[in-house]
């Protein structure tokens, strides 16, 4: 067997797509980093660290770019009779792996692969299949292979109960059943893959799943800018079906009469780059409102490990809201709430909210399913405020409706009805309506990351970030006021 260098993550990428593996080796500069989700990586670190606490007296191999140092350290721990080793590292003929948590017994070892997910995905089985295969080659008896994930049903009460927060799943049989596949692929990668010749692999489901591929732009560079993969509101299966039938551009879709006839009107609007105004529908929609109108927007944060009582893994926790209040005479007032860091702010936020929005008021959100979900969670968590919160819930209207239904559509919206696309379409010249002109925080994901990071900052830095968060959230509701005015002008 020829020696070559492959790691667990490279193997997993080769399973997803051989060309992805080849690109990593030959043209890594073509990789588009925007597919990487920083929040997922961060959650993975937090969960991985906490999972170590399940195992007493665990020895941890420190990360080193020189893998041999990690392998040597692992050997030392084994020689010293460590029973549990984190990042236990091995190599066989250039095939490298680090086991998240290895348990060592007289008659063999147990692999524990820790994931920050709440379900056991198929790709995790490939991961432990690779690990158990290599450990077998090194002469170890892998008695068991586990995937440790978070239990989405766990609700924190008091101290974290690790036995309930984590769910340990035995995947030994599935992992062993894939050993021949591991062997075949590793052999192919080491002996047959021609690094001089780009593999001819077509676009397919593997470009999106299990992980979005950063080479998608490279692999679709033959397509026109307005191509079928930029169509919104059309599912991936249909896009791939079109692609494999030779339908690439918007014109190709329009000219494929049978396919085009079956598309929903909102998709046809995008393809034809139509400008649509349905004044009757907009007027009917506007008749739903009564004054004063409360324009509401929340910012939320998600923690893989629930930090406070009553929270589940990844539950959305609101930490901020902005509220513009519009009177019938056109005057507008602004109120807001932004939690101090380091405490469970949900009760304080809920109480501020019910003070700011009187009963039976007309409230309005953009994509209200999100805001309503937050309010329902708060109502469930604080039964003493249930009635007041559900009053807001029940009197909420969604400003997204006219755009989602294309009662107003402009090609500048690029098929999207997200407020981030609607705003520049409605106010192309207005700099105050442009999120890109904000400092520091310009998107929901950035607001979440900024709030999470606040406890690590100096007092001065905290003030700067808090100001950025307030500006960002304020623009969300101010934008809604402006959109509403625009709709009124239209009718």
Of 97, 145, 148, 213, which lies in the binding site for ligand SF4, with binding defined by CB under 6 A? 213
Q: With contact defined as beta carbons under 8 Å apart, do 320 and 451 qualify?
A: yes
Q: Report helix, strand or coil for 195.
A: coil
Q: Which stretch binds ligand SF4 (CB under 6 A): 14-22, 178-186, 339-347, 387-395?
A: 14-22
Verify binding: residue 14, ligand SF4, rule CB under 6 A.
no
C-beta atoms surrounding 73 within 10 Å: 19
Smallest separation (angstroms) from ligand SF4 to the CB of 136 = 29
- In degrees, rounded to 5, the angle at the alpha carbon of residue 295 between the alpha carbons of residues 290 and 299 is 155
Q: 59-60 and 276-277: which strand pairing?
A: unpaired
Please identify which residue in 207, 228, 234, 481 interacts with ligand SF4, judged by CB under 6 A. Answer: 207
228 contributes a contact to ligand SF4 by CB under 6 A: no
Residue (243 or 408) nearer to ligand SF4, CB: 243
- 215 contributes a contact to ligand SF4 by CB under 6 A: yes
Using rule CB under 6 A, residue 23 touches ligand SF4:
yes
Using alpha carbons, list the distances in angstroms from residue 352 to 23, 345, 356.
Answer: 53, 11, 6
Q: Measured from the CB of residue 100, what is the shortest distance to ligand SF4 in angstroms?
A: 26
- Please report which residue ranges of 17-121 form alpha helices under DSSP H: 18-26, 38-51, 67-79
The reply on whether position 201 binds ligand SF4 by CB under 6 A is yes
Q: From residue 363, how far is each of 23, 269, 288 by CA, in Å? A: 51, 30, 11
Identify which of residues 27 and 334 has a Cβ nearer to ligand SF4 in the complex.
27
Cβ atoms of 63 and 70 within 8 Å: the answer is: yes
- Scanning 62-70, 139-147, 201-209, 263-271 for contacts with ligand SF4 by CB under 6 A, the matching segment is 201-209
Task: Closer to ligand SF4 by CB, 198 or 333: give it.
Answer: 198
Would you count residue 474 as binding ligand SF4 (CB under 6 A)? no
20 binds ligand SF4, rule: CB under 6 A? yes
Using omega within 30 degrees of 0 as the cis cutoff, is the peptide bond preceding 241 cis?
no
Q: CA–CA separation, 372 vs 382, rounded Å?
A: 15
Nearest approach, Cβ of residue 26 and ligand SF4 (Å): 11
**End-to-end CA gap in the chain:** 75
* Nearer to ligand SF4 (CB atom), residue 126 or residue 371: 126
Those residues whose C-beta lies under 8 Å from the C-beta of residue 308, and which sit 6 or more positions away, are: 156, 317, 344, 346
**Sequence-distant (≥ 6) Cβ neighbours of residue 69 within 8 angstroms:** none
Matching residue, tokens 């460590």: 82
Question: For residue 364, what are the β-bridge partners?
Answer: 295, 397
Look-up: residue for tokens 């304020």? 474
Q: Residue 369 has which token pair?
A: 């399913």
Q: Which of residues 89-118 bind ligand SF4 (CB under 6 A)?
A: none
Task: Please pick, from the candidates 51, 219, 231, 271, the single residue that binds ligand SF4 as defined by CB under 6 A.
Answer: 219
| CB closer to ligand SF4 out of 213 and 357 | 213
**Least distance (Å) from ligand SF4 to the CB of residue 23?**
5
Span interacting with ligand SF4, options 15-23, 265-273, 285-293, 367-375, rule CB under 6 A: 15-23
Candidates 154-162, 202-210, 252-260, 460-468: pick the segment binding ligand SF4 (CB under 6 A).
Answer: 202-210
Q: Is 457 in the site for ligand SF4 (CB under 6 A)?
A: no
- C-beta of 52 vs 201, nearer to ligand SF4: 201
Q: Minimum distance from CB of 270 to ligand SF4 (Å)?
A: 23
Out of 6, 12, 15, 17, the residue judged to bind ligand SF4 by CB under 6 A = 17
Q: Is position 19 an interface residue for ligand SF4 (rule: CB under 6 A)?
A: yes
SS3 78: helix
Give the count of beta carbons closer than 10 Å to the beta carbon of residue 411.
15
Judge if the upstream peptide bond of residue 13 is cis by omega within 30 degrees of 0: no
Residue in 55, 176, 216, 314 binding ligand SF4, rule: CB under 6 A: 216
When asked if residue 206 is in the footprint of ligand SF4 (CB under 6 A), the reply is: yes
Residues that bind ligand SF4 (CB under 6 A): 17, 19-20, 23, 201, 203, 206-207, 213, 215-216, 219
């Amino acid at each position: 067997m020829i020696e070559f260098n492959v790691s667990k993550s490279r193997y997993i990428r080769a399973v997803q797509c051989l060309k992805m593996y080849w690109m990593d080796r030959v043209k890594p500069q073509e990789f588009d980093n925007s597919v990487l989700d920083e929040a997922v990586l961060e959650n993975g670190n937090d969960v991985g660290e906490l999972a170590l606490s399940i195992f007493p007296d665990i020895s941890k191999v420190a990360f080193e770019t020189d893998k041999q140092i990690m392998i040597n350290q692992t050997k030392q721990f084994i020689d010293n009779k460590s029973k549990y080793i984190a990042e236990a590292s091995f190599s066989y003929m250039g095939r490298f792996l680090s086991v998240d948590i290895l348990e060592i017994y007289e008659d063999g070892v147990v692999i524990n692969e820790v994931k920050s997910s709440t379900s056991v995905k198929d790709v995790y089985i490939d991961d432990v299949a690779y690990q158990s295969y290599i450990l077998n080659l090194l002469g170890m008896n892998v008695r068991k292979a586990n995937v440790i994930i978070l239990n989405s049903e766990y609700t924190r009460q008091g101290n974290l109960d690790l036995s309930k927060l984590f769910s340990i799943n035995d995947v030994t049989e599935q992992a062993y059943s894939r050993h021949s596949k591991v062997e075949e692929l590793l052999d192919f990668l080491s002996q047959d893959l021609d690094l001089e010749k780009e593999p001819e692999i077509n676009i397919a489901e593997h470009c999106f799943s299990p992980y979005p591929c950063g080479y998608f732009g490279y692999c679709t560079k033959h397509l026109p800018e307005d191509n079928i993969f930029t169509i919104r509101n059309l599912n991936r299966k249909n896009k791939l079906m079109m692609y494999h039938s030779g339908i690439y551009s918007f014109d190709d879709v329009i000219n494929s009469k049978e396919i085009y006839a079956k598309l929903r009107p909102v998709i046809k609007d995008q393809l034809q780059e139509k400008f649509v105004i349905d004044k009757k529908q907009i007027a009917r929609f506007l008749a739903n409102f009564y004054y004063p109108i409360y324009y509401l927007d929340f910012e939320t944060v998600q923690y893989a490990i629930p930090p406070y009582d009553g929270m589940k893994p990844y539950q959305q926790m609101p930490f901020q809201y902005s509220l513009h209040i519009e009177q019938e005479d056109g005057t507008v007032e602004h109120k807001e709430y932004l939690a101090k860091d380091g405490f469970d702010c949900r009760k304080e936020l809920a109480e501020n909210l019910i003070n700011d929005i009187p009963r039976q008021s007309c409230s309005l959100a953009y994509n209200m399913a999100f805001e309503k979900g937050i309010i329902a969670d708060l109502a469930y968590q604080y039964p003493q405020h249930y009635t007041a919160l559900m009053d807001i819930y029940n009197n909420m209207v969604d400003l997204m409706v006219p755009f989602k239904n294309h009662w107003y559509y402009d090609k500048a919206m690029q098929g999207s009805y997200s407020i981030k696309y609607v705003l520049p379409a409605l106010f192309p010249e207005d700099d105050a309506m442009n999120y890109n002109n904000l400092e520091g925080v310009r998107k929901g994901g950035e607001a979440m990351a900024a709030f999470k990071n606040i406890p690590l900052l100096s007092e001065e830095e905290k003030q700067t970030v808090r100001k950025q968060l307030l500006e960002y959230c304020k623009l969300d509701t101010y934008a809604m006021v402006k959109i509403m005015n625009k709709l009124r002008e239209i009718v």
